[in-house]
Amino acid sequence: MPFSQLPQSLQEALTERGYAAPTAVQAAMLQEGADTRDLIVSAQTGSGKTVAFGMAMAEQLLPRIGGDGGDAGFGPIGQPGAPGALVIAPTRELALQVSRELQWLYAKAGARIVSCVGGMDPSRERRLLSHGAHVVVGTPGRLRDHLERGALDLSTLKVAVLDEADEMLDMGFREDLEGLLDATPDGRRTLLFSATIPKPIVALARRYQRDAMTVSTVGTDRGHGDISYQALAVAPSDIEHAAVNLLRFHEPDTAIVFCATREAVRQLHARLVERGFDAVALSGEHSQAERNHALQALRDRRARVCVATDVAARGIDLPNLSLVIHAELPRDAEALQHRSGRTGRAGRKGIAALIVPYPRRRRTEAMLRDARVAVEWIAVPTPEDIRVADRQRLLAVLSAPVELDDDDRDLGAALLAERSAEEVAGMLVRAHRAKLPAAEDLLEAPAAGRGAPGRERGNDAGPGQSREGFEDAVWFRMNIGRRHNADPRWLLPLLCRRGHLGKGEVGAIRIAADETMFEIPRGVAGRFLAAVKRTASTADPEGELRIEPAQGGPAPGGGGTAREGGGRDGGGRGGGPRAGGGNQGGLPRARYGARPTHGRAPRQGGQQ
């Protein structure tokens, strides 16, 4: 029995739950010293760490009797009073999930577990605490509030667990954590569970731990072997359409689509519902009752898609969650792991799909290398791909055996009396298809794994001639090119949307290796640049893409850019403001955002 070192009550609970063998982090909790020493545990989301620290605290909640050796039995848990264990988690969802896990793990031992989280009735929590508890699980702010009001007594605490400690520090809970730990006895154990061990975690451990034992299972669990990572390069304006087609192609039982801000969640959720998806939303703006309602809808299959921010989705454990879509890219490798770890749990397979705007591909590849995950670059499923997948699913569903009652048979006979069998079958297929949201047509994309080839959107006029309306034009420069998969098919609508132009107001587009140049009629150039500046702060707060007047047009032959004065007329068409070009003089550099505002919100600066 792999869990033979644990109390009998925990062994029985694990067996009933189907635990045949411990995960890497759980096995580490069974090694010598892990049941009595302070611990610093580095483990990824979805690695079974909740059960792991539940096992680690058994020695304090159920003390051994009859000796110190492995043959010693465990005593009863005793009557509830001041808590013996405190578990602190960064979010409400994670705290509630931890509470549920510990409840079944310690159910046979008779442990009383109380949850204290923001958004719930604090007076009810105080009443529960007054009746005593063996384990208290909560979020830092709510626990600190109960402590200061005298409802939470930590004077006899034996073990404190900080779950996802790195996230709690990132979210600004340091003061609350220190206030809680300072109120505990010096002899208590402190267990730090964290996906990463940055300097703030080391400082926290140095202050509150003694001779801590370090356990790392990141090398074993990192990347989650049961998750298949896929990346899809798309035009920035096609991000929403790509998410729709991924959902339609896979038709998962449950899926999570991640956005970066509350506003992005609100907009994408509305658009998915409008398209016919059974979707719910989770973000910081929702009350606990709304969150519980949304999660219950996912669990009982009334909803199949959850649109969420990182923080709101932390701690969610949904059955049959097989698809995670990163509609807005995670901020770093660790956020990627936390998001993707919602699927591929408990031995189930899952897919994590990253929708990557062309200009962000190189940064995404660097993040994936840092995360040490193997990723497959694939093409976005097309409507034809989705039709083929739908056909296979419909054949499987409609061919499955079903139990028919007399009313079903009578109605079937009545239909066959009026229609042929082929017509009845076709009507059945049509009825099923009518429930499915329509697929989206995307801009033509490069083949999976390759960048878009360099292309030009040239003038209709011949060599040395000006296209009508562009005899007097200003050249602009953008800091993306062929190496960034720049392509007129997505650059043109992006320029029109961000610069408030019509397609006819954008002239030639010349794409070089590292930059793109395009021309705008001089009469609208000032309005164009002003519009770009106004929209930059919301569309591209990081300033990753920049647009600025060029000092000259592209070099002869379309390759690269010309030097100052190298335009068609030296100081006229080819001359930007620094080349003596007209009404653009003196305007500062503008930042140009690649990500569309349509259906999405900025990644930084918003609220989750």
Residues 6+ apart with CB under 8 A from 569: 575
Q: Which of 109-118, 247-256, 433-442, 564-573 is predicted least confidently?
A: 564-573
Given this model, what pLDDT does residue 471 score?
Answer: 77
Structure tokens at 371: 């995360």
pLDDT above 80 for 530: yes
The top-scoring range by mean pLDDT among 247-251, 435-439, 452-456 is 247-251
Beta strands in 473-527 (DSSP E): 473-478, 509-511, 516-521
Nearest to 353 by CA among 238, 446, 228: 228
Structure tokens at 267: 């907009």
Given this model, what pLDDT does residue 87 score?
Answer: 96
pLDDT above 70 for 324: yes
Q: Which class for 406: exposed (0-12), middle (13-18), buried (19 or more C-beta within 10 A)? A: exposed
The confidence band for 219, taking pLDDT boundaries of 50, 70 and 90, is low
Q: Which of 242-251, 328-337, 454-463, 501-510 is predicted least confidently?
A: 454-463
Q: Beta partners for 281?
A: 307
Structure tokens at 144: 């600190």
Given this model, what pLDDT does residue 576 score?
Answer: 36
Given this model, what pLDDT does residue 540 score?
Answer: 58
Q: Give the number of other Cβ atoms within 10 Å of residue 592's Cβ.
A: 26
Structure tokens at 33: 């010293």
Nearest to 352 by CA among 230, 226, 224, 247: 230
Given this model, what pLDDT does residue 385 score?
Answer: 93
The confidence band for 85, taking pLDDT boundaries of 50, 70 and 90, is very high
pLDDT above 90 for 582: no
Q: Give the number of other Cβ atoms within 10 Å of residue 103's Cβ.
A: 17
Please tell me the distance from the alpha carbon of residue 481 to that of residue 484, in angstroms, as a whole number: 5
Fold agreement (8-221, 227-382): yes
Class of domain 8-221: alpha beta
Please tell me the distance from the alpha carbon of residue 589 to that of residue 32, in angstroms, as a whole number: 62
Q: Which of 28-37, 526-535, 586-595 is predicted least confidently?
A: 586-595
DSSP state of 438: P
Given this model, what pLDDT does residue 570 score?
Answer: 34
Please tell me the distance from the alpha carbon of residue 135 to that of residue 98, in angstroms, as a whole number: 11
* Buried-exposed string 478-499: b where 16+ CB fall within 10 A, e elsewhere: bbbbbebbbbbebbbbbbbbbb
Q: What is the pTM of this model?
A: 0.56
Given this model, what pLDDT does residue 313 score?
Answer: 67
Q: Which of 131-135, 446-450, 562-566 is predicted least confidently?
A: 562-566
Q: What are the CA-CA distances from residue 574 to residues 144, 167, 462, 513, 607 (Å)? A: 65, 52, 18, 20, 43
Given this model, what pLDDT does residue 46 score?
Answer: 64
Nearest to 158 by CA among 266, 59, 269, 47: 59
Residues in the chain: 608
Terminal Cα-to-Cα distance of the chain (whole angstroms): 44
Given this model, what pLDDT does residue 148 score?
Answer: 92
Q: What are the CA-CA distances from residue 128 to residues 56, 114, 323 (Å)? A: 25, 7, 38
3-class SS of residue 323: strand
Given this model, what pLDDT does residue 556 score?
Answer: 52
Determine the average pLDDT of the residues in 415-439.
86
* Buried-exposed string 241-260: b where 16+ CB fall within 10 A, e elsewhere: bbbbbbbbbbebebbbbbbb
DSSP string, 43-61: --TTSSHHHHHHHHTHHHH
Given this model, what pLDDT does residue 19 score?
Answer: 86
Tabulate helix, strand, coil % of the chain (nearest 5). Answer: 40, 15, 45
Q: Give the number of other Cβ atoms within 10 Å of residue 31's Cβ.
A: 11
The confidence band for 20, taking pLDDT boundaries of 50, 70 and 90, is confident
The confidence band for 279, taking pLDDT boundaries of 50, 70 and 90, is very high
pLDDT above 60 for 150: yes
Given this model, what pLDDT does residue 215 score?
Answer: 86
- Contact between 539 and 490 under an 8 Å Cβ cutoff? The reply is no
Phi, psi of 105, rounded to the nearest 5 degrees: -65, -35
Please tell me the distance from the alpha carbon of residue 498 to that of residue 500, in angstroms, as a whole number: 6
Structure tokens at 397: 């569903």
Given this model, what pLDDT does residue 108 score?
Answer: 92
Given this model, what pLDDT does residue 220 score?
Answer: 45
Q: Which of 151-155, 198-202, 558-562, 575-579 is predicted least confidently?
A: 575-579
The confidence band for 225, taking pLDDT boundaries of 50, 70 and 90, is low
Given this model, what pLDDT does residue 112 score?
Answer: 95
Question: So where are the chain's domains?
Answer: 8-221, 227-382, 456-592
The top-scoring range by mean pLDDT among 39-43, 129-133, 400-404, 522-526 is 129-133
Given this model, what pLDDT does residue 578 score?
Answer: 33
Q: Give the number of other Cβ atoms within 10 Å of residue 26's Cβ.
A: 25
- Contact between 353 and 241 under an 8 Å Cβ cutoff? The reply is no
- Contact between 138 and 115 under an 8 Å Cβ cutoff? The reply is yes
Given this model, what pLDDT does residue 537 score?
Answer: 62
DSSP state of 447: P
When the pLDDT of each residue in the chain is averaged and rounded to a whole number, the result is 80
pLDDT above 70 for 412: yes
Backbone angle region of 334, left / alpha / beta, with phi > 0 → left and psi within -120 to 50 → alpha: alpha
pLDDT above 60 for 451: no
Nearest to 521 by CA among 562, 578, 565, 581: 581
Backbone angle region of 582, left / alpha / beta, with phi > 0 → left and psi within -120 to 50 → alpha: left
Beta strands in 96-158 (DSSP E): 113-116, 135-138
Q: Beta partners for 297?
A: none
Q: Which residue has the higher pLDDT, 570 or 297?
A: 297
**Can you identify the CATH homologous superfamily of domain 227-382?**
P-loop containing nucleotide triphosphate hydrolases (3.40.50.300)
Q: Give the number of other Cβ atoms within 10 Å of residue 270's Cβ.
A: 14
The confidence band for 571, taking pLDDT boundaries of 50, 70 and 90, is very low
Determine the average pLDDT of the residues in 138-159.
94
Q: 490-519 pLDDT, tens per residue? A: 888 888 878 888 888 888 889 998 899 999
Please tell me the distance from the alpha carbon of residue 276 to that of residue 264, in angstroms, as a whole number: 19
Beta strands in 341-469 (DSSP E): 350-357, 375-377, 456-457
The confidence band for 110, taking pLDDT boundaries of 50, 70 and 90, is very high
Q: Over pLDDT 90: what percentage of the chain?
A: 31
Given this model, what pLDDT does residue 44 score?
Answer: 66
